[in-house]
Amino acid sequence: MTVVMPAGVQTARDLVGPAISQAVSRLSPAVRAVASYHLGLSDATGQPITAGGTGKALRPALALLSARAAGVGPERAVVPAAAVELVHNFSLLHDDIMDGDTERRHQPTAWTVFGVGAAILAGDALLALSQDILMETPPYGVWAARCLSAAVLRLIAGQGADLEFEQRDDVEVAECLDMAGDKTAALMACACSIGVIYVGGPPGLAMSLSGFGAHAGLSFQLVDDLLGIWGAPEVTGKPVGSDLRARKKSVPVVTALASDTDAGRDLAKLFGKSEPLTDDEVLHATQLVEAAGAKVRIEEMADAELASALACLADAEMPEDVRAEFAAIAEFITARQW
């Protein structure tokens, strides 16, 4: 299935990319090299990449739309859009280390190229930059910074829960959903509302868009969990079955393990092995998750969260073209590409 990227995403790249590059230029040379490589601004030798930067730019696109929802031009929200993307990439740098991922965006992860310590420092630097650029832009930059800081605390709590789950055999589906809400949906909710906050827009609009982002973010994470099992490498940027190979307690896996089915029990035995899973075992685990009914169940949950997101959007007062673009991005990020 071919999924067309919403036009607002390219606009976000064009507007926000230079702001991110400018922020990263403040870093010391060694840290800047790692951050620039991770962000796609340069290659591993430090040579600039002309068409690089800002990744998918989904969160910046949402932040710019947030400002437009409040009746101002997207250029007014470039700073908070850049800040949200810097935080997102701080989390990716650290996630890759904690998860042991060796590939992202179809290239080696930063920690495998520059080392664990250097990648940690680059992530820390991006987090600090996100607050710096917001605090430098009064009067509403302080409130936007507080919104982003609250999202970061939830993101860290979610990542902490994700790590804890690796050591437990009794993880429940509800816990997994709470973890996904913190780890992914909180920053998405912030992205959808931070533009309104930054330009001094109506609080009610910020709340409605935050709700939209929370539901859309959870739907996105559920779909991402499905892609972590069934997604093609050319779509995910990671090896096929990477989440199962790592025995990751994603929502589909936990749903299968809690299903009280023969397939779920067989999956528990397979995950209980001490040695690494072979390619055949990863394929078998994939089949077991689906046989336990988890794939269909998570698809239903993702659809329900998307419907809730669109309901929040319908209740908010904003220009109709902006509402349509929000909906288009939500449908884009939750599209299934096997």
- CA dist 181 and 178 (Å) reads 5
Coil/strand/helix, residue 259: coil
Give pLDDT, residue 115: 98
Amino acid at 198: Y
State the pLDDT at residue 155. 97
pLDDT of amino acid 88: 97
Q: What is the mean pLDDT of the chain?
A: 92
CA distances from 26 to 78, 80, 190, 231, 287 (A): 18, 17, 25, 37, 49
116 found inside a domain? yes
Task: Give the model's confidence band at 54: pLDDT under 50 very low, under 70 low, under 90 confident, else very high.
Answer: low
Give dist(CA 74, CA 87) in Å, integer: 20
| Domain contains 1 | no
pLDDT per position as a tens digit, 294-312: 999 999 999 999 999 999 9
Q: Which of 6-15, 31-40, 48-57 has the lowest mean pLDDT?
A: 48-57
Over residues 83-96, the mean pLDDT reads 97
Q: What is the pLDDT of residue 247?
A: 87
Q: Is 48 helix (H, G, I), strand (E, B) or coil?
A: strand
Contacts (Cβ under 8 Å, ≥6 apart) of 288: 256, 263, 264, 266, 267, 270
Range of the domain at 274: 7-333
Which pLDDT value is given to residue 220? 95
Domain count, the chain: 1
pTM: 0.91
Is residue 303 included in any domain, yes or no? yes
1, pLDDT greater than 60: no
Is 338 domain-assigned?
A: no
104 φ, ψ (degrees, to nearest 5):
-145, 140
Could you give the percent of the chain with pLDDT greater than 70?
95
Write down the pLDDT at residue 237. Answer: 60
The reported pLDDT for the residue numbered 48 is 93
Per-residue pLDDT tens digits for 202-259: 999 999 999 999 999 999 999 999 998 988 766 666 666 778 888 888 999 999 999 9
Residue 236 to residues 7, 104, 194, 198, 320: CA-CA distances in angstroms?
A: 21, 8, 28, 33, 32
DSSP state of 240: T
What's the pLDDT tens digit per position in 55-74? 678 999 999 999 999 999 99
Residue 2 belongs to some domain of the structure? no
pLDDT at 234: 67
Q: Quick one: pLDDT at residue 236?
A: 62
Tokens standing for residue 312 = 């929040």
CATH number of the domain to which 139 belongs: 1.10.600.10
Per-residue pLDDT band at 108 (split at 50, 70, 90): very high
pLDDT surpasses 70 at 25: yes
Report which of residues 24 and 103 the model is more confident about.
24
